[in-house]
Every structure is written in C-alpha cells, then in structure tokens.
C-alpha cells in the first residue's frame, strides 16, 4: 500500500510517499480501506515538533526523542471495512466507518487496522466520506472540553478564541447546541463562516481588542494559544472558567493555581479520545447539529501540499485529503492482483 512517512521533524518537506505491506487484521481488529483523511493540528504538532516555549523536551518524549515514534501521521479518517478478524462480531465487510486513531496516528495511508472495540463507529448515510473524515479531531476535542470538562450550561455566555479553526468551529456549534450565547474571535475574512455556524457576535482580532472593556463571560475558551491568562482573566466573571485547549506553558502548569487566586477556574488537560465521545459527535453530525468546516481538499498524491497549507497557520476548519477518489473501492481483479504482490 502507499502511505506517507517522515523520519525527521520539520516542515512539510519531510513528508515522503512510501510503499508498505498492507496490514493484516488481528483477531479483534478490522482492516479499513481509507477513503478520506485530514491534516490536523495534531499532525502539524507531531511533524513540526513546534511546541509552546519550555515544552520542547516534553514534545520529544511524547513524539520520539531522536526521531518520530509514529512515522505515519493521520489522526482521523473515513473508509470501508475490507476484512475483519476472526473474533469480530460488531462489524461486517463493506461497513462504512469513521475512525479516530488520534495520538496513535496512521491514517495517512491507503489502509489501516483498528480494534473493533476501539475509536471506530459506523458512518451515517447522510454524511459524505470527506465530511466524515473531518469530524473526529476537532469535534471530540470541542465536546470533551465544553461538555465534559467545563460543563457549559444553557444561557451561559462564552468567548471562543480561534473560532474558525477545526476545534474552534466545532466549539461554536456545540456551544450553540447547548444553548450558550457565543462570541467568536477570528479574522474578519472568516467572520461570515463563524456567523453561519451560529455565533451571536464576532470579534475581528486584527482590528478589535479581543478583551472588550466592561464585558465579561461565563466561559472563555482558547483553542489556539493566543489568549494567555494575564489577558483572559479580565474577560471572565467571578466564578467563571477559562477553558485552556491550547496555551502557553506557564498557564498549562500554573493556570489552575492562578485562576483560583482570582476566584475563577481553569479547565485544561488533554482531550479525551474515548469512543463514547466519537459516537456522540457523529450523532450530532448526523442530526445536522454539527457541520465540519472544510477549508481545502487535496488528492492523496498532494499530501505534501496539504501539510504545507496547514503550516501557514491560516487554515479554516479542516484540510481534507481524499485517499480513494470518490470512494472507489477496489475491484475483484485489483484485489487478486494485490494478493499476488
């Protein structure tokens, strides 16, 4: 099979197309032909190893001290099951699925194996493969932080910094679904996008001060790490919460303590990748509550260009890569030829 690999950290230039043996599912696994994947912020972080100041060593410990521990990137995908392990009973060959390998990576390839009881769920018929692939990373992060960690409630006010990104755009939609009043922060060029997602008010960070005098919120969520506690605290009411999805090192380490001193709360940590969360956000997408924003779509042969676009730091929502054009499955002849290789 074809896949994209990297052996050193750096720009999109470190990505190379390679040929690897097609994986064989274990007794409790399924083999999936990937139809679409994305280049996510997680892929960018792992490949570039650009970390918040002071966390460089931690980044290497996580992703690989002397080189990438997971040479095949790709945190999310959609596809069709081609083989099942002998112990698998909850999926059948031909099932369309959405998968979230997350920190395990591996989706920048034509095939992937996943545990049948892992972060995998059936793809709803009313969601196309490209949109399906763009659901897991951003939506599960947004859901876990806003619903599970911050316990956002109906009627609360929330400021979402970085509202046009993959996580931020999902935050806007989930917050509105919960009944919150949403103020979104993004560039003026993306204002209409986030308004279309349900934002009640939009702040253009290029021309306006994100922290407006006299205006406070129940929750301030930073999805991009550009709103440190020293600024955000002025926009949080007494007893309110700072949701730190991305941030500077001092806030990650000492944010909880600093927030308590100010009579407020800091919600941080690592987003859970539990299957229940994946199923919850896919259900919201099937209901039309959640619509992943797709900035650009690339062919599998253009994977390096997709990574380069993410490197600009200006993507809107998700960057999708179509692995199998138009969901074209292999013919019986192709399968026989593959078996002979």
Helix (H) or strand (E) holding 244: strand 236-244
Give phi and psi for 52, each to the nearest 5: -55, 145
Please report the DSSP string for 254-299 in residue order. Answer: HHHHHHHHTT-EEE-SPPP--HHHHHHHHHHHHTTS----EEEEEE
Q: What is the pLDDT along the chain (341 residues), one digit of tens a residue?
A: 999 999 999 999 999 999 999 999 999 999 999 999 999 999 999 999 887 776 677 778 778 888 899 999 999 999 999 999 999 999 999 999 999 999 999 999 999 999 999 999 999 999 999 999 999 999 999 999 999 999 999 999 999 999 999 999 999 999 999 999 999 999 999 999 999 999 999 999 999 999 988 899 999 999 999 999 999 999 999 999 999 999 888 888 898 999 999 999 999 998 999 999 999 999 999 999 999 999 999 999 999 999 999 999 889 999 999 998 644 444 433 444 444 33
For 2-134+293-340, CATH number out of 3.90.180.10, 1.10.3720.10, 3.40.50.720, 3.40.50.11540 equals 3.90.180.10
Q: Whole-prediction pTM value?
A: 0.90
Tokens of 92: 């059948």
Q: Which helix (H) or strand (E) holds 41?
A: helix 41-48
First-last CA distance in the chain? 10
Domain boundaries, the chain: 2-134+293-340, 137-267
User: What whole-number distance in Å separates Cα of residue 170 and Cα of residue 49?
Assistant: 25
Alpha carbon distances (Å) from 169 to 14, 135, 184: 29, 11, 9
Task: Evaluate whether 337 touches 153 at the Cβ level (below 8 Å).
Answer: no
- Would you state the structure tokens that stand for residue 27, as one six-digit string? 């007794």
Comparing CA positions, the residue from 292, 78, 313 lying closest to residue 170 is 292
Distance, CA of 210 to CA of 200 (rounded, Å): 15
Query: Which CATH number is 137-267 given?
Result: 3.40.50.720
Phi and psi for 77 in degrees, rounded to 5? Answer: -165, 165
Give the position of tokens 């205006």: 215
CB-CB contact of 88 with 29 (8 Å): yes
The b/e string for 173-192 (b: 16+ C-beta within 10 A; e otherwise) is: bbbbbbebbbbbbbeeebbe
Structure token digits, residue 220: 């301030």
């Amino acid at each position: 099979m074809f896949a994209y690999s990297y052996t050193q950290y750096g720009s999109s230039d470190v990505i190379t197309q390679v040929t690897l043996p097609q994986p064989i599912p274990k007794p409790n696994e399924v083999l999936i032909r990937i139809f679409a994947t994305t280049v996510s912020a997680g892929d960018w972080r792992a490949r570039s190893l650009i970390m918040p100041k002071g966390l460089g060593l931690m980044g290497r410990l996580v992703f690989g001290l002397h080189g990438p521990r997971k040479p095949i990137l790709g945190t999310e995908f959609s596809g069709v099951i081609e083989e099942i392990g002998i112990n698998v009973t909850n999926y059948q060959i031909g099932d369309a699925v959405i998968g979230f390998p997350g920190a395990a990576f591996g989706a920048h390839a034509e095939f992937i194996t996943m545990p049948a009881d892992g972060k995998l769920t059936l793809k709803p018929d009313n969601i196309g493969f490209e949109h399906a692939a763009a659901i897991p990373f951003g939506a599960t992060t947004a859901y876990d932080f806003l619903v599970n960690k911050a316990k956002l409630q109906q009627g609360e006010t929330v400021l979402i910094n970085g509202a046009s990104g993959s996580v931020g755009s999902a935050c806007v939609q989930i917050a509105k679904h919960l009944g919150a009043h949403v103020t979104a922060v993004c560039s003026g060029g993306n204002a209409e996008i986030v308004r279309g997602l349900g934002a009640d008010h939009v702040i253009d960070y290029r021309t306006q001060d994100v922290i407006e005098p006299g205006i406070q919120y129940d929750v301030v969520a930073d999805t991009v790490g550009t709103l440190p506690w020293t600024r955000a605290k002025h926009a949080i009411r007494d007893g309110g919460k700072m949701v730190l999805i991305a941030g500077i090192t001092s806030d990650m380490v000492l944010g909880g303590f600093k927030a308590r001193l100010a009579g407020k709360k800091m919600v941080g940590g690592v987003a859970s990748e539990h299957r229940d969360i994946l199923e919850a956000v896919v259900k919201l997408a099937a209901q039309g509550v959640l619509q992943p924003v797709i900035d650009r779509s690339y062919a599998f042969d253009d994977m390096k260009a997709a990574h380069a676009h993410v490197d600009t730091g200006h993507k809107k929502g998700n960057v999708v890569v179509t692995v199998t054009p138009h969901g074209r499955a292999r013919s019986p002849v192709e399968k026989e030829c593959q078996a002979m290789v």
